[in-house]
Chain A
């Protein structure tokens, strides 16, 4: 424990250099802007900014990109409260009571509670990260290829189960992502696969192009289709002196913030879109525990404090599987894994030992980033809210220009732009046909790792599939996967049994 604290202090030494402080501030500001602006979520935001980090060292780059991620989570609540439009999916729940508070002239306390709750949750979650990551990394050293394979399969199944409306469709998207991930050189034998003699495809499909296409261009196209008047309504911008919550507000929020933090931290550790599930769970918990559940949906401050804290806590704890196992459980951390690899760093159990300056520097920067975000989000909320006054018909072309420019800078290649547009069109179609893009992106990033783990396992066992069930950790993960797969089947059986019961009755 003391060792972790010592390392953390050294990490502060790294994070507090002028350079890293600047990139932390940049990440927090850009992240908040991305969170505030509907149409550009943290996934496309991080992907777009990866090329801007090429000239930086790995530590500064990850400090900035991580800042964008948690900054977007902070910023997302602003549009939810002021406009009833979530800046990103994790802020959907905040709309319910946050917007109602704004309608009653209490937008200020709602925004301030979000900022304070996010700060407390973020800070506590980082403490969890500091003390949990090193022992977990040691435990992860016992993982071999079969365990990694089973863990990734488990991650896919859980993510597919909780995203979208249909498990089959989400699984299909994951398999499509895995297929796209096989394009390029075979990671084991070096044979070119699905390249159709194109040199541009030898290195595989550029994941930044897929991310910006699916989540940036696809989102913009979906917005273009909507009636443009929908975001040009009146924006309620509170004045600075209206921002501060009353003592009563703080008293009501305090327990909700702590509960949200605990719920979010736990959910961030398991696969799936953690912030979304965490906010929903926290809201339900607060509603069930409240002495006045009837106030929920009509502007209850606990309905804002709990979910926003859970959101930020989940976002911070989601870094644990990424840092410790090298396996992201959600699309934003999958993009961050891509950024790590671009900068020549492979996250996993060895990260803390091999790159201590990066690991502890990034964690320390998260503390600083949280503090910067608190400072930004309290007094500057009116400023960020004013950005919402930019009409969408002006904003969307700007996002497109930024996507084109950002994509070109990745490899100075037009092929990447074509790829991005292709996936943009695909992203739009997927939205129309009710398919989820998240499993595809995660599968694309993890695909090569999954294939290598699968083939290495079979090589070790001389082709015997029993290796996946003979090893206890691997078997445990596969059993958990099977249970998750069977949940929908049980639900159907339960539904039929109930129906039968009613019919007989």
Chain B
């Protein structure tokens, strides 16, 4: 049994089931006059069917499964991805409040730091330079209405 296949298959099966459930709450109609729910209902059932085939395949031992890949550990790299994504999520959350220039400056500091730019002078100057460049390009030159935030820029 391949653990990744089972996890992926289960999640997709659930998506199929949820789709089918909500489709049944819409008018399904007949094949002659199909309602809004008919097409997504068919897709939900098809997705569940495909997931079941994947389950069956994942239970049948095959050569490729015997040659197992090394187990992924929750390593430094996984932590790095979580921190990286976390910084982006936080920046998006504060986008309206901080405004574009400040958000981009702080986000760049956080992302560079996560990726191993440890020297503060280099990190800060690079972030400042890039955020200023992005501000000039997008806000001043291309006139894109980006959030100004409390600094009003």
Q: A179-B40, A225-B81 are in contact. Are A405 and B146 (CB under 8 A)?
A: yes
List residues of chain A with CB within 8 A of the CB of B84: 221, 224
Residue A428 CB within 8 A of the other chain: yes
Query: Once the chains bind, are B39 and A182 in contact (CB under 8 Å)?
Result: yes
Count chain A CB atoms within 10 A of each CB in B35, B57, B84 and give the residue with the most. B84
Known: A172-B50, A179-B15, A193-B36. 10 other contacts (CB 8 A): A52-B142, A168-B57, A171-B50, A194-B19, A408-B144, A408-B146, A432-B72, A454-B34, A463-B30, A463-B32
Q: A394-B126, A397-B112, A433-B8 are in contact. Are A404 and B91 (CB under 8 A)?
A: yes
Residue A143 CB within 8 A of the other chain: no
Ranked nearest first, the 4 interchain pairs of A and B with the lowest CB-CB distance are A463-B32, A397-B111, A463-B31, A393-B115
Residue A287 CB within 8 A of the other chain: no
Query: Once the chains bind, are B81 and A221 in contact (CB under 8 Å)?
Result: yes
Taken together as a complex, chains A and B put the C-alpha atoms of A193 and B144 apart, in Å, by: 32
Query: Once the chains bind, are A414 and B145 in contact (CB under 8 Å)?
Result: no
Residue A435 CB within 8 A of the other chain: yes
Taken together as a complex, chains A and B put the C-alpha atoms of A398 and B145 apart, in Å, by: 20
Query: Once the chains bind, are A176 and B8 in contact (CB under 8 Å)?
Result: no
List residues of chain B with CB within 8 A of the CB of A400: 88, 107, 111
Residue B153 CB within 8 A of the other chain: no
Query: Once the chains bind, are A401 and B31 in contact (CB under 8 Å)?
Result: no
A:37-91 near B, CB below 8 Å: 52
List residues of chain B with CB within 8 A of the CB of A182: 39-40, 43
Report how many residues on chain B are interfacial, defined by Cβ distance under 8 Å.
63
Stretch at the interface among A12-20, A372-380, A417-425: A417-425
Query: Once the chains bind, are A193 and B111 in contact (CB under 8 Å)?
Result: no
A:218-237 near B, CB below 8 Å: 221, 224-228
Q: A172-B51, A225-B81, A393-B116 are in contact. Are A401 and B130 (CB under 8 A)?
A: yes
Query: Once the chains bind, are B107 and A401 in contact (CB under 8 Å)?
Result: yes
B:24-47 near A, CB below 8 Å: 26-27, 30-40, 43-44, 46-47
Q: A178-B43, A179-B47, A186-B36 are in contact. Are A401 and B53 (CB under 8 A)?
A: no
Residue B132 CB within 8 A of the other chain: no
Q: A394-B117, A459-B33 are in contact. Are A421 and B89 (CB under 8 A)?
A: yes
- Cross-chain contact of A179 among B43, B111, B112, B146 (Cβ < 8 A): B43
A:392-448 near B, CB below 8 Å: 392-394, 396-398, 400-401, 404-405, 408-409, 412, 414, 417-418, 421, 424-425, 428, 432-435
List residues of chain B with CB within 8 A of the CB of A409: 138, 144, 146
Residue A465 CB within 8 A of the other chain: yes
* Chain B interface helix/strand/loop/mixed: helix
B:87-109 near A, CB below 8 Å: 88-89, 91-92, 95-96, 100, 104, 107-108
Taken together as a complex, chains A and B put the C-alpha atoms of A393 and B126 apart, in Å, by: 12
Nearest chain A CB to B128's CB is how many angstroms away? 13
Residue B12 CB within 8 A of the other chain: yes
Query: Once the chains bind, are A397 and B8 in contact (CB under 8 Å)?
Result: no
Query: Once the chains bind, are A414 and B43 in contact (CB under 8 Å)?
Result: no
A:191-228 near B, CB below 8 Å: 191, 193-194, 217, 221, 224-228
Residue A458 CB within 8 A of the other chain: yes
- Cross-chain contact of B96 among A175, A193, A194, A414 (Cβ < 8 A): A414
Query: Once the chains bind, are B53 and A168 in contact (CB under 8 Å)?
Result: yes
Query: Once the chains bind, are A224 and B115 in contact (CB under 8 Å)?
Result: yes
Taken together as a complex, chains A and B put the C-alpha atoms of A404 and B101 apart, in Å, by: 12
Residue A455 CB within 8 A of the other chain: yes
List residues of chain B with CB within 8 A of the CB of A405: 100, 104, 134, 138, 144, 146
List residues of chain A with CB within 8 A of the CB of B95: 404, 408, 414, 417
